[in-house]
């Protein structure tokens, strides 16, 4: 009898879910990949996916209707370079490494969850975490979201960052030991790089993150190629922190999927990236955030040197036509601002570099989805795609700052916020 009741409940639940169609009336729907806009659309959402989208759809009986006829809909936003669990101490003389010593992985995981929830509410429906995740803590943040315990964006993870000896820590006294291995794997030969890639994949990562040039020594072409070969054979992409110079030559020649930062890339290097279809995730930090970060323990040049270089490199990359995905790298906290607010502050840099709004939106949606290998499921609004969408009162293709006024967010068909 108990089993019959259980079966009946199961059948009724399945039927209820199948019947819960949502019909969204949208004033305008933007298609960032095509750069086009369609007016007065109806979008039918079923089981977390877009079932139909057209101007003349009949709304099925019993469908839940959401009226966004005064709004502009867009695919959900993506950020290809986040560090969900990490907050860097700003001001004073706290070393870059202080978060290793003062914060447990559990605390870091909770911060990651808080940031993930803030990002989703702000309209970021997919993010790519590129390491510094407290010994794989982001894998657990993702697991809790996937298990339905919390709402959150789709998260791709990188686990531990693979780097030449020392990770991104410089001048740590030998008696302190290699404590950076909490977040980094030291890998100093092609074989060690292969082993590190395998370790990360074993622990569940989607993307392999290397730091190529944070030290006076940097990765060789052979080491980059080992990472790419090992990762690509396992269906993973490779993202590499590199600023420029010979290390960037090796990274580009080695055939990685994306260069992160690339602040000092030359036109020749950008042209080669374009030819090879390598993405630039420029993490184009606004001056105000550079000032707060300082030189990040020697990782960054001084803000007055770096800020103009970032704008110039972004302008050149756009002019040359390198594929770009939006990525921010925000790791600071500012009173009365969420991490999403700080990420949207990067838009000012893109505007200053002269990038048109439709192109910026493309870098934040379809381009990022392509880099993240999720474009078959996310990044555009079409039948069969996940119902990840946002809405706002003005057209983001005309003014990208409209993204600051997002008032509707749907994630996998679930309404996260609405006007
Ligand atoms: Zn970063």
Please give the biggest Cα pair distance in the chain: 74
CA 19 to centroid of ligand 1, rounded, Å: 43
In the block, tokens 């993506």 appear at 78
- Could you read off the pLDDT of 247-298 as tens digits, one per residue? 999 999 999 999 999 999 999 999 999 999 999 999 999 999 988 876 655 6
The contacts of residue 1 (CB under 8 Å, 6+ apart) are: none
- Tokens coding 14: 């399945």
Q: Where are the beta strands (DSSP E) in 32-167?
A: 36-46, 49-54, 64-75, 77-82, 124-129, 154-156, 161-163
Which residues have C-beta under 5 Å from ligand 1, the single-atom ion? 329
- Tokens coding 323: 């594929």
CA 276 to centroid of ligand 1, rounded, Å: 23
Give phi and psi for 253, each to the nearest 5: -65, -35
CA 10 to centroid of ligand 1, rounded, Å: 45
CA 384 to centroid of ligand 1, rounded, Å: 33
Give phi and psi for 399, each to the nearest 5: -140, 110
Query: What pLDDT band is residue 407 in, cutting at 50, 70 and 90?
Result: very high
CA 339 to centroid of ligand 1, rounded, Å: 14
Q: Kind and range of the H or E element at 275? A: helix 267-276
pLDDT at 411: 98
Lowest mean pLDDT among 91-105, 146-160, 253-267, 356-370: 91-105
CA 327 to centroid of ligand 1, rounded, Å: 9
The contacts of residue 19 (CB under 8 Å, 6+ apart) are: 62
CA 263 to centroid of ligand 1, rounded, Å: 13
Contact, 54 vs 24, CB < 8 A? no
CA 240 to centroid of ligand 1, rounded, Å: 10
Contact, 396 vs 74, CB < 8 A? yes
Closest CA to 343 of 283, 294, 389: 283
The contacts of residue 15 (CB under 8 Å, 6+ apart) are: none
Q: Kind and range of the H or E element at 207? A: strand 207-211
How many Å apart are CA 211 and CA 215, to the nearest integer?
Answer: 9
How many Å apart are CA 294 and CA 243, to the nearest integer?
Answer: 17
CA 130 to centroid of ligand 1, rounded, Å: 6
CA 21 to centroid of ligand 1, rounded, Å: 40
- Could you read off the pLDDT of 187-223 as tens digits, one per residue? 999 999 999 999 999 999 999 999 999 888 999 999 9
CA 258 to centroid of ligand 1, rounded, Å: 13
Lowest mean pLDDT among 110-119, 239-248, 283-292: 283-292
What is residue 96's three-state secondary structure? Answer: coil
Query: What pLDDT band is residue 3 in, cutting at 50, 70 and 90?
Result: low
Q: What is the pTM of this model?
A: 0.93
What is residue 228's three-state secondary structure? Answer: helix
CA 293 to centroid of ligand 1, rounded, Å: 12
How many Å apart are CA 140 and CA 401, to the nearest integer?
Answer: 33
């Amino acid at each position: 009898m108990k089993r019959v009741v259980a079966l009946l409940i199961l059948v009724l639940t399945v039927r209820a879910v199948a019947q819960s169609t949502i019909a969204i009336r949208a004033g305008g729907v933007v298609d960032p990949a095509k750069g086009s806009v369609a007016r007065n659309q109806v979008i039918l959402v079923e089981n977390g996916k877009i079932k139909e989208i057209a101007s003349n759809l009949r709304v099925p009986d019993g469908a839940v209707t959401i009226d966004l006829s005064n709004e502009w809909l867009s695919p959900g936003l993506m950020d290809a370079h986040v560090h969900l669990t990490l907050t860097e101490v700003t001001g004073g003389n706290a070393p870059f490494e202080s978060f290793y010593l003062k914060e447990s992985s559990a605390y870091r995981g909770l911060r990651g969850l808080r940031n993930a929830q803030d990002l989703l509410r702000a309209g970021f429906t997919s993010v790519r975490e590129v390491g510094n995740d407290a010994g794989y803590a982001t894998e657990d943040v993702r697991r809790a979201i996937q298990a339905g315990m919390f709402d959150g964006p789709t998260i791709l993870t990188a686990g531990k960052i693979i780097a030449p000896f020392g990770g991104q820590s410089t001048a740590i006294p030998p008696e302190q030991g290699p404590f950076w291995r909490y977040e980094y794997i030291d890998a100093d030969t092609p074989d060690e790089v292969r082993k590190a890639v395998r370790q990360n994949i074993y622990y569940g990562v989607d993307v392999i993150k290397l730091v190529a040039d944070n030290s006076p020594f940097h990765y060789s072409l052979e080491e980059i190629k080992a990472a790419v070969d090992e990762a690509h054979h396992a269906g993973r992409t490779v993202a590499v922190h590199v600023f420029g110079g010979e290390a960037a030559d090796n990274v580009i020649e080695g055939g990685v999927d994306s260069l992160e930062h690339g602040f000092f890339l030359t036109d020749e290097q950008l042209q080669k990236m374009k030819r090879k279809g390598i993405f630039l995730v420029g993490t184009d930090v606004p001056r105000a955030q550079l000032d707060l970060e300082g030189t990040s323990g020697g990782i960054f040049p001084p803000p007055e040197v770096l800020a103009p270089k970032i704008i110039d490199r972004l302008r050149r990359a756009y002019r040359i036509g390198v594929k770009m995905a939006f990525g921010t790298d925000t790791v600071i906290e500012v009173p009365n601002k969420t991490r999403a607010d700080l990420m949207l502050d990067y838009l000012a840099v893109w505007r200053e570099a002269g990038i048109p709004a439709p192109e910026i939106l493309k870098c934040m949606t379809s381009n990022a989805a392509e880099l993240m290998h999720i474009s078959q499921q996310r990044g555009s609004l079409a039948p069969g795609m996940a119902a990840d969408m946002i809405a706002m009162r003005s057209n983001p293709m005309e003014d990208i700052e409209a993204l600051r006024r997002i008032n509707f967010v749907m994630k996998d068909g679930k309404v996260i916020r609405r006007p």
